[in-house]
Chain A
Amino acid sequence: MHRHWKRRFERQIPLYDEGVLSDSQRRRFERELAKNEQLADALRRYGRLMGTVKRLRPVYPPRAKWEQFLPQLHRRIEETDREQPNGWYAHLIRRLYNRLESPAARPRWLEKAAFGLAGAALGAAAAFYLGQILPPQNGGAPLSQGRQIEQAVEQTASNNIAFEEPLVEDFGGPHHLIADPSRE
């Protein structure tokens, strides 16, 4: 139990230092701080770390390069302006490009919409491709064994009918009325 409370208060040290604890949390923390030497020690160590963090300074480029910051920026802007075509359409495209290029100016929904469109296009392309390479759904589907037998029987029956000689002799009626030169 004691360890749990110790961890809880130690966890709160950065929040206490930031001043973002609620009033009741802060009061509880300070009560504990007054009687808990370990917590006080942890707070001192944290303060030492943050003190060092705040003293950290970046390393700067050589003075000559540093002084060229603004002239170099001017050159870059001028070069870009020279390269860009003039005219109302160029102006329009440039404005749109600048808006898209500058992430700060780019609305959040635009990125989401772009991802959505890209996804939809990809899906449509995949569906089209699959539609091209796969056979029609019923044309190539394998038949069950029973259906295969049925089909074979039907096929045989239709073949027999097609190749049998017509039984003209066996029937009377209109066949005899047709003139047959071989009989004469």
Chain B
Amino acid sequence: MKPPDHYLVQQFQNGDKSAFDVLTERHYKRIYDYAYYQTRNVDDSYDIAQEVFFRAFKSLHNFKGNSTFYTWIYQIARNACVDYYRRRSSRPTLELTEEMINQESISTMRQPERRPDSIVLGKELEEQIRSAVSQLPEKQRQVFILRHFEGLSLQEIATIMDRSLGTIKAHLHHSTRKVWKLLEPYLSDKPIRKGG
């Protein structure tokens, strides 16, 4: 039987450093996944995951156990990703708003010639989903990824993001609607009028 996370945390805090290896082995893939959905870059995600577990090792002795270990480590991952975006902030980034979805530049994706039925569930749709998610505003992106890609509950997301459940619901609603609205042409069975 695998020892639970809180037991391993206690072991670590009592001086058994090898307990941290077990925790790392158990969670580093999830943290990598989370970082990858944020950055869409293999090397950056790997580095972020390394940074997350390094920070976790340094501050695990301060962990009070008010939340589960994995929500705590997601908190660190979330902040590491925010730092990552901050470092990249000198480069121009594009955030997706409702207005932009209706603009001509984005609506080019809605042109009928770009909507072959064969790709509806194909690679291009996956790429469009990743692209749409990466363009969401920061908090909405975090919530969307944690809910839909990582499969966390709304309450866990609220703990990780240190926000109320209502705020998380609102972020999830807005982010999902934006992504849906943007990708709807790929999902429709009917032909789409140009510029629609």
Which residues of A are interface residues toward B (Cβ below 8 A)? 11, 13-15, 18, 20, 45-46, 48-50, 52-56, 58-61, 65, 69-70, 72-73, 76-77, 80, 98-99, 101-105, 108
How far is A104 from B176 in the complex, measured between Cα atoms in Å?
27
Check B59–A53 contact: CB distance below 8 A: no
> Could you give, for residues 159-180 of chain B, a 1 whenever the CB lies within 8 Å of some chain A CB and a 0 otherwise?
0001000000100110011011
Closest 3 CB pairs of A and B: A103-B79, A58-B36, A102-B59
Query: Known interface pairs A54-B148, A98-B62, A104-B59. Does A46 touch B169 (Cβ–Cβ under 8 Å)?
Result: no
Other than A49-B179, A104-B76, give 16 A-B pairs with Cβ distance below 8 A. A15-B173, A18-B172, A49-B129, A52-B126, A53-B148, A56-B126, A56-B130, A61-B43, A65-B46, A69-B50, A70-B24, A73-B24, A76-B54, A98-B62, A99-B62, A104-B79
Binding site for A on B (CB under 8 A): 21, 24-25, 28, 32-33, 36-37, 42-43, 45-46, 49-50, 53-59, 62-63, 72-73, 75-76, 79, 82, 120-121, 125-126, 129-130, 148-149, 151, 154, 162, 169, 172-173, 176-177, 179-180, 183-184, 187-188
The answer to whether A53 and B149 touch across the interface, beta carbons within 8 angstroms, is yes
Are A14 and B36 interface neighbours, CB within 8 A? no
Determine which of A13, A20, A55 lies in contact with B169 in the assembled complex, contact meaning CB atoms within 8 Å.
A20
In angstroms, Cα B25 to Cα A144, docked, is 82
Asked if B50 contacts A72 (CB within 8 A), the reply is yes
A11 and chain B: residue at smallest CB distance = B177
A46/B180 in contact, CB under 8 A = yes
Q: Is the CB of B50 within 8 A of A76?
A: yes
A35 to chain B, nearest CB (A): 21
CB neighbours (8 Å) of B129 from chain A are: 49, 52-53, 56
Chain A residue numbers with a CB within 8 Å of B33 are 58
The B contact surface, by secondary structure, is helix
Contact partner, A14, options B25, B37, B177, B183, Cβ 8 Å: B177
Could you tell me the distance between the alpha carbons of A68 and B55 in the complex, rounded to whole angstroms?
18
A15 vs B166: C-alpha distance in the bound complex, in angstroms? 12
Chain A residue nearest in CB terms to B54: A76
Chain B positions within 8 Å of A60 at CB level: 32, 42
B130 x A49 contact (CB < 8 A):
no
Q: Is the CB of A14 within 8 A of B173?
A: yes
Q: Give the nearest-CB partner of B49 in chain A.
A: A69
Query: What A residues does B56 contact at CB under 8 A?
Result: 102
Q: How far is the CA of A61 from the CA of B187 in the complex (A)?
A: 31
What are 24 of the A-B contact pairs (CB < 8 Å)?
A11-B177, A18-B154, A18-B169, A48-B187, A49-B180, A52-B121, A53-B149, A58-B32, A58-B37, A59-B36, A72-B50, A73-B24, A73-B54, A76-B50, A77-B57, A101-B55, A101-B58, A102-B55, A102-B56, A102-B58, A103-B82, A104-B55, A104-B59, A104-B75
Determine the residue in chain B with the shortest Cβ distance to A58: B36
| B59 and A49 form a contact (CB under 8 A) | no
Would you call B72 and A104 a contact (CB within 8 A)?
yes
